[in-house]
Structure 1
Amino acid sequence: MAFFKRKLFKKVPKHEVLQDLPASAEPWRSYNDLNDGWKENYYLTLLSKIGEKTTKVLNKPDVSSDTVNIMLLGYVQSGKSSTINSFYSILDKEICKRAKSGESTTSFTQKYTSYKLEDKLDKIVLYDIMGIELGPNQGVLVKDIQGCIVGDIKHDYKFNPCAEHKSTSDKDLERKEIHCVMYCVDAESVDEDVIPGFETKMQDIESELRVASQDRIVLVTKIDAVCPETKADITQIFQSTKVKTVVEKAASVFRVPVNQVFPIKNYTNEMETDGNKNIPLLLALKKAVDFGTDYLRQRLDEKHRVYKGDKQESTS
């Protein structure tokens, strides 16, 4: 367990962590396309749906972006980089490592980094930032998170835990506003007692997001670590009472509705990709894209209302 994680969460005795619970007879989360059983190639349908959604919205006249921009946010070892690598692995149909990941007590990500997806997802850009930490002069600052969300911080900016990014009036800066935020947290940590310091930091971040109005989802990574049934068979993920418990706890910690929390298993030790493992990952990405495109349409509607108001004033 990383040093930061020990500081972030109070470790509870193993016998208290996720007692063996029976699998639910009915899925605790239902998707129409999965009700009659999982089909390994269903992930291809999800890829098409996500691609069609982004193209449809981004092709609208006057839309404010040519990509859907999603930012991943989490503490050290929460699985941000592994999530990015997993999306590339799905697209390439082989295990990829585009983003640095591994065991570390400090954030691998030091710079504001963008990852443009490919093929049917080529209109989606994932943004990775320095991890959240609780120690003094450690981790990304809340004001820098806000700066990334509104597009004030440029690609490749190196974060400084001791000093906020200075706003710039550079007219040449290509502002890339974030349209949806993905929080990442690992399943084992969710089941531990979160100390007040982390909840306070999350409240600060959430207050910034509410002001900015971008929506967010929560990815609960490493779900196989808390559920042997899901580890053995990923298709049991929405049947598992253990997974349901973790999802509900994550919703409470991050203060989001349960249907905005997604349990996933990233590609970490696998040698090959698996169609069924792709499905939870793409269900999460689809929701992030839904929220991101909703935000873009909302901005477009606001733009049209302002234009109509100005036009009425000029003719009155």
Structure 2
Amino acid sequence: MVVLPENWRPIDFHPSNQKKIIEEITHFKIANPEVHQLHILVHGPIAAGKSSFINSIASIFKGRMAESSLVDASGAGHSFTKKFITKKIRDKDGNVLPFVMSDIMGLEDEEADGARTEDLVMALKGHLKDGYCFNPVASLKKEDPFYNSCPTLNDKVHCLVSLLPGDKIGLMKPAGVQSVLRKLIEIRKEASAMGIPQVLVMTMVDNICPEVRKDLKMIYKSKRIKEKMQECTNSLGVPMKRVFPVKNYHEEIEMDNNVDTLVLSALKNILHFANDHVQELDD
């Protein structure tokens, strides 16, 4: 296993930096007065860790393990999340933070399985109401009670976050007509047409590199992690500077500063990208 002598991307794992980022996000100032909370949409293939990523963020701000989204540990092979659910994140005092995260049904290779790209595009535009139950064989219709015909700027998505499992990216089908990668690319194109910024979060980093499994601080010294991040970039087209490797809380029952630092680093950048977007809409 090749380990680089220095971090190729700077990151500070000291607990004081973690506290600094938490403080920054807790008091984050949104650049558009019409926006009450930045709206982040998290999507990706099944078992990529979408719900776990949201739960990891909720845990960090609670200062303890928290479950904002239900997670399936059975490995059944189909998406556990069935509804469009927007989660408020609260700090340890119960205060609502200045962003929300929408959890969706996972994408699958077959056209009749998983969330439909048409539904995700409607979510980007703010047309999906909370509680909408995804139907793999039919998209939301305008006459449906869960269709929001007059979305406000708060309903629309301000940053699209794609999650890819780093340990499985090489096993995913090429971007054919019905592949998950093709669906992800199509959704990205729609987001780009709307000017919505995009971020790629690479999960499962502890399954990629033994050195990183032993010590997360090695993440930006691992040549294997960098190669997998580049593979994610090549597959989806998201620039390397917008690819963030993380480890979600999964088996742990206690908080870990190194896990928190990686997740917070990704979240901080996501919020800045989203804020830049809403600021442009106010100009």
Q: Which deviates more from structure 2 when the two are superposed, residues 272-281 or residues 91-100?
A: 91-100
Give the 3 Å change call, closer, same or farther, for CA 25–57 of structure 1 in structure 2.
same
Amino acid at match of 2:61: L
Which of 67, 90, 101 in structure 2 is aligned with 1:118? 90
Deviations 1:222-267 (A, max 9, x none): 1000111111111111111111111111111110110100000010
For 2:21, the equivalent position in structure 1 comes to 46
Gaps of 5+ in 1: 1-19, 302-316
- 1:108 paired residue number: 80
1:25 aligned residue: 5
> CA separation in 2, counterparts of 1:221 and 1:170?
32
Match of 1:135 among 110, 121, 130: 110
Q: Say if 2:157 is the partner of 1:182.
A: no
Q: What code does the residue aligned with 1:187 have?
A: G
Percentage identity across paired residues of the two chains: 27
**How far apart, in 1, do the equivalents of 2:158 and 2:242 lie?**
15
Cα distance in 1 between the residues matched to 2:120 and 2:172: 25
- CA–CA distance in structure 1, aligned partners of residues 229 and 205 of structure 2: 10
Bigger mean CA offset, 271-280 vs 96-105: 96-105
Partner of 2:123: 148
TM-score (normalizing by structure 1): 0.81
1:272 positional shift: 0.2
The alignment partner of 1:71 has SS state of strand
Does the 8 Å contact 1:57/1:293 carry over to 2? yes
2: CA distance, partners of 1:248 / 1:219: 12
Please give the alpha-carbon distance, in whole angstroms, between the structure 2 residues aligned to 1:111 and 1:193.
25
Find out whether 1:97 has 2:79 as its counterpart: no
Q: Helix, strand or coil: the match of 2:30? A: helix
- CA shift, 1:170, in A, is 6.0
Q: 1:287 and 2:269 equivalent?
A: yes
- The two structures, once aligned, show a CA RMSD in angstroms of 1.9
* Distance apart, 1:205 and its partner CA: 1.5
Query: Does the 8 Å contact 1:47/1:121 carry over to 2?
Result: no
Q: TM-score, normalised by structure 2?
A: 0.90
Contact 1:154 1:173 in 2 (8 A): no
- Rounded Cα–Cα distance in structure 2 between residues aligned with 1:216 and 1:167: 27
Pick one of 81, 89, 92 that aligns with 2:51.
Answer: 81
Distance apart, 1:193 and its partner CA:
5.5
Cα 1:172–1:144 change in 2 (3 A) is closer
1:84 partner amino acid: I
Q: Are 2:200 and 1:218 equivalent residues in the alignment?
A: yes
Match runs of 1:269-280 below 5 Å: 269-280=251-262
Query: Structure 1 or 2: larger helix share?
Result: 1
What residue identity is the alignment partner of 2:114? G
Does residue 192 of the first structure (1) align with residue 165 of the second (2)?
A: no
